[in-house]
Amino acid sequence: SEPINEDDDDDDPVVREINVYLSPELIQKLHIVQFPLIPQASINPRTESMTPDIARIRPQNKILEIEYPIDTSVFSQQRQIPEALNVGHRVYRSQNIGSTTHTAIGFMAAGNDALHLIPLVNDTMQMRPTFSHVDALFDDDADRMEEEANAKKKKDAKNSGSANTPLLLKKKESEWSAMQRRSSYAFQKAREEEEEWIDLDVHGQGTAELKEVKRHAHCAQKSVDLMFQSRAQGGGLKTGADMNA
């Protein structure tokens, strides 16, 4: 690139130049976690923490769930809370939002003589409250009704005394029907439920674990040239030698 010409803008001269380094070590591990339904002004940093008690993930489906404790004492003077709503935690589940631009997280090194940047290549995880504890009540009612219907059918068939078994012909599924089935909510939900949750360790501000992660955020090899790859090339960063290979 061309050197900076300080004569281009005499009213706003360059007073300092700072070296900028890209740190690739954490590039695949960092995610932006957003809470679009929680205004920042509603959080009191003195009494509330954004560090959850529990966190778990389904990595293949890229689903994150986190739980925050609820102060149930605020309900003590109110009317009786239904059992479905009487929970001790508020659960948030992620929805992935694809990146449409280049973003990075950065910090100044000690002495303010270098800026270290970590490119963010993963999808943004937007956290929204989930009401699975309420859905579970309706699921239980639906299962009970289905069991009762099946039991009634068996009883009716037994009382009729008919030994005839109906012959069912299954039509081959078309490509369009298969595509519709795979894109349906029920199919997506079943695929998500097949994957087991993996519990995550949660570490808040000031912990030794967080300090160790921050240590890896520094660019260790400052003499290596790094270049961005397009999404067609797989995304992320490569060294100049790897790109030319």
pLDDT tens digits, residue range 141-171?
Answer: 656 666 667 677 776 666 665 556 666 666 7
pLDDT at 216: 85
Q: Is the pLDDT of residue 244 over 50?
A: no
3-state helix, strand, coil in the chain (%, to 5): 30, 20, 45
Mean per-residue pLDDT for 190-214?
A: 88
Query: What whole-number distance in Å separates Cα of residue 119 and Cα of residue 46?
Result: 31
Mean per-residue pLDDT for 61-84?
A: 73
Q: How far is CA 31 from the centre of its chain?
A: 8
Instruction: Give tens-digit pLDDT for 1-58.
Output: 455 555 556 788 888 888 888 888 888 888 889 998 887 766 665 556 678 889 999 9
At 170, list the tokens. Answer: 């299954």
pLDDT at 177: 74
If phi > 0 it is left, if psi is from -120 to 50 it is alpha, else beta; for residue 106 that is: beta
Mean per-residue pLDDT for 160-186?
A: 68
pLDDT at 86: 62
pLDDT level of residue 243 (50, 70, 90 thresholds) = very low
Q: What average pLDDT does the structure give for the chain?
A: 76
pLDDT at 14: 86
At 76, list the tokens. Answer: 């003590």
Provide the edge-to-edge strand list for the sheet that holds 33-34: 33-34, 124-129, 89-97, 63-69, 54-58, 198-200
Look-up of token digits 């490509």 = 175
Percent of the chain residues topping a pLDDT of 70: 59
Cβ burial of 220 (10 Å; 0-12, 13-18, 19+) is exposed
Strand ranges inside 159-241, DSSP E: 198-200, 226-228, 237-239
Following DSSP, what letter does each residue of 89-125 receive, concatenated? EEEEEEEEE---S-EEEEEEPTTS-EEEEEEE-SPEE
Asked if 52 and 64 touch (Cβ cutoff 8 Å), the reply is no
Q: What is the pairing mode between strands 89-97 and 63-69?
A: antiparallel
